[in-house]
Amino acid sequence: MSAFHFFSGKGGVGKTSLACATAVQAADAGRRTLLVTTDPASNLADVFEQPIGHRVTPIAAVPNLWAMEIDPDRATDEYKERALAPLRAAFPPALVAVIEEQMSGPCTSEVAAFDRFTDFLEAPAPGQPAYDLVIFDTAPTGHTLRLLELPAEWSQSIDAASAGSGQTCIGPAAAVQDAKHKYERALAQLRNPAQTTFTFVLQPEAISIRETQRAIGELGHLGIHSHQLIVNAVIPPEAAADPLFAARRERPQQYLAQIAVDLPWPARQVPLLSGEIKGLDRVRALAGLLTDPNARPTFEVEAGEPPAPDWPAAAILARLQPPAGRRRTLFFAGKGGVGKTVASCVTAVHLARQGFHTLLLTTDPAAHLGDVLGVPVGDSAAPVAGAPNLWAAKIDPKAAAETYKARILDDARRRGRPPEALRVMAEELDSPCTEEMAAFDLFIDYASQADWDVVVFDTAPTGHTLRLLELPLDWSQQLDVKVFATVDTAAADDVAKRRFGDVIAMMRDPARSTFAFVMYPEATPILEAHRASQELRALGIAPGLVVANFIIPPDAAAAAPFTRARRAMQARYLAEIGQRFDVPVLRIPLLPQEVKGLATLTALGEQLYGQGAPAAWPA
């Protein structure tokens, strides 16, 4: 019987590195191990420095270890073919074509990726390989929770459709009954502590602790209670020889004490290392730290080209401020944990202080705007206390879905739709994918509003952001059934084309929108951002800015060996950023404390955008 081990947590806390290290450790101990990633922006291949992709692939030089990166597009094609194959033999081609069109929406993509994921929770079929351990490297917490909620939600949706119209947005209910049983078995496996363990990776900081608490609470509602913790990137004592890291080490000691009280599960600590985890030797070094946290591997840093000089603030502000008499929409995107929320907040606060009416939004399911701003942020746009000209809101998919469903059904009643039509529409809207549709619908509303000089989007991690931005194109043929279910089909097409056309034109116009990719100077976030920028270019959207975050100041380079090693690594990757991205680069320094609260955001904005660094950072 296989054991299952999930790695979850906030973006950027080190889930992938620790999942890889655990997998190598298990394989080296003789256990047949499979490592699967469910993150749309996977980087297993980057860590192991070999191609992997959407197939089970042996890891070179690690007997007993295989890996797979689930590709949502290929999983969708495979799912549709499995669902449609038996229908082609039983129904006329015209009817099959209608069903296939109904399965062409984003609901199918979501459930297909999940369907592929649950394959690994099933007992292997005869002739298929069996594994002693299956490790899941998951997407950041909000999306992982969404994934784990699906078994119950899809089972309910299939049951409701079976009792009603017989049709779901993922295919005829009769054809997906086997999937329903599969999802129920998957949930039973997840609830079984003898087989399944969830390791939450977190860092000693307030946001990471709160997200871990929230995630454990939500898993409890699903009946999942088998947890353990890895507290990663703990600043080691030797780093305290440098004043910057000494200051950054003080507050985490309080958070470590808080973790012991507020998160009473088995926990291990892993220190912040002087270099990145990339390549098998470094993965094995990290695996050693899981058993001996006092070990201190040393990493050689290859010399690189010196980074280009800092871009002038005026060149960067030209990509952020709205042109005279017009508005600008800013998208801050990138890998989880790179600092998108801080970059979004500091920019929004600064632009608001310059007199621009600014709306700050997040589309991330694990929203942290309120944590960084230091004020509550609700589901609708509201003024930010203490920040004139700034409004903020978070797009909560669950809340948006309830409002969206009520609006669609109320409109249908006003138009005199018959009870049978209302019942079918209610079934359609009870699908789990309504949340994604509703969040997208709200995103379109905000993006279309003319009330703001600047709209700043703090987006979800890269793979999910790309999915959101592709929705206008993917859904253009679906809205007559879904978003515009209450109007005539011809009118729906016209309205959809106009509405989407305006938003797509805005995103493609560099005078009206700027896509800023946020990264820290290490290989994985740079590669992920570069791949995402290429995908955006395929949609006709050109990146306009790069934000390089957590930069160690030059005056810290001559301090402790730990600091010198990290500074040398950063210099090499800053040069690579300049070579890969032909756009201005904004560098955000590593500060001695968390970036939190309007005072710190204001001071940081002045340093970044033109008035110099403060003599002392706000407490």
Is residue 582 assigned to a domain?
yes
* pTM for this entry: 0.80
- Output 73 or 544, whichever has higher pLDDT: 544
Based on the fold, state whether residues 550 and 420 are members of the same structural domain.
Answer: yes
Select from 258, 252, 254 the least CA-distant residue to 271.
252
Residues 105, 574: Cα–Cα separation, whole Å: 40
Query: Do residues 282 and 347 share a domain?
Result: no
User: How far, in Å, CA of 195 to CA of 27, rounded?
Assistant: 18
Catalytic residues: 12, 14-17, 39, 524
Q: Which residue has the higher pLDDT, 531 or 477?
A: 531
Is residue 482 in some structural domain? yes
Residues 331 and 282 in one domain: no
Query: Does 491 fall in a domain?
Result: yes
DSSP 287-326: HHHHH-TT----------PPPPPPPPHHHHHTTTSPPTT-
pLDDT of residue 203: 93
Phi, psi of 483 (to 5 degrees): -65, -40
47 with 181, same domain?
yes
Asked whether residue 490 carries a pLDDT value surpassing 50, the answer given is: no
Helix (H, G, I), strand (E, B) or coil at 34: strand
Contacts of 243 (CB under 8 A, 6+ apart): 556, 559, 592
Same structural domain, 242 and 196: yes
Q: Is residue 24 part of a domain?
A: yes
Q: Are 448 and 503 in contact (CB under 8 A)?
A: yes
pLDDT tier at 483, thresholds 50, 70, 90: very low
Is residue 617 one of the residues assigned to a domain?
no
| pLDDT confidence of residue 485 | 40
Which residues are bridge partners to 589 per DSSP?
A: 551
Q: pLDDT tens, 348-389?
A: 999 999 999 999 998 765 567 888 998 989 888 999 999 999
- How far is Cα 591 from Cα 198, in angstroms, rounded to an integer? 32
- Residue 153 above 60 pLDDT? no
**In which band, very low, low, confident or very high, does the pLDDT at 487 lie, cut at 50, 70 and 90?**
very low
Vertex 20: Cα angle to 19 and 23 (nearest 5):
85
How many structural domains comprise the chain? 2
- 428 and 281 within one domain: no
Q: What is the mean pLDDT of residues 487-501?
A: 50
Q: What pLDDT band is residue 281 in, cutting at 50, 70 and 90?
A: very high
Give me 261's structure tokens: 């009280």
User: Which tens digits make up the pLDDT trace of 306-336?
Assistant: 667 788 889 999 999 998 878 999 999 888 7
Neighbour count for residue 411 (Cβ, 10 Å):
14
The secondary structure of 122-184, three-state, reads CCCCCCCCCCCEEEEECCCHHHHHHHHHHHHHHHHHHHHHHHCCCEECCEEHHHHHHHHHHHH
Amino acid letter at 63?
A: P
pLDDT of residue 479: 42
Query: Does residue 248 sit within a domain?
Result: yes
Q: What is the DSSP letter of 486?
A: T
Average pLDDT, the chain: 80
Note whether residue 544 is domain-resident. Answer: yes
Do residues 497 and 582 both lie within one domain?
Answer: yes
Q: What percent of the chain has pLDDT over 90?
A: 33
pLDDT average, residue stretch 545-562: 82
Is there a single domain that holds both residue 38 and residue 124? yes
What CATH number should be reported for the domain holding residue 273?
A: 3.40.50.300
Question: For residue 539, what are the domain limits?
Answer: 316-607
Using DSSP, how many helices (H) and how many strands (E) does the chain show? 21, 18
Looking at the fold, whether 343 and 225 belong to one and the same domain comes out as no
- Going by C-beta distance under 8 Å and a sequence separation of 6 or more, which residues neighbour residue 351? 320, 321, 358, 453, 454, 456
pLDDT tens digits for 30-61? 999 999 987 766 789 989 999 998 999 999 99
For residue 334, tell me if it sits in a domain: yes
Question: Do 193 and 234 have their domain in common?
Answer: yes
Residue 162 banded pLDDT, cuts 50, 70, 90:
low
Q: Has residue 16 got a pLDDT over 70?
A: yes
132 shares a domain with 213: yes
What does the pLDDT read at residue 459? Answer: 78
Q: Are residues 70 and 130 in the same domain?
A: yes
CA distance 481 to 472: 15
Beta strands in 507-608 (DSSP E): 513-519, 545-551, 585-589
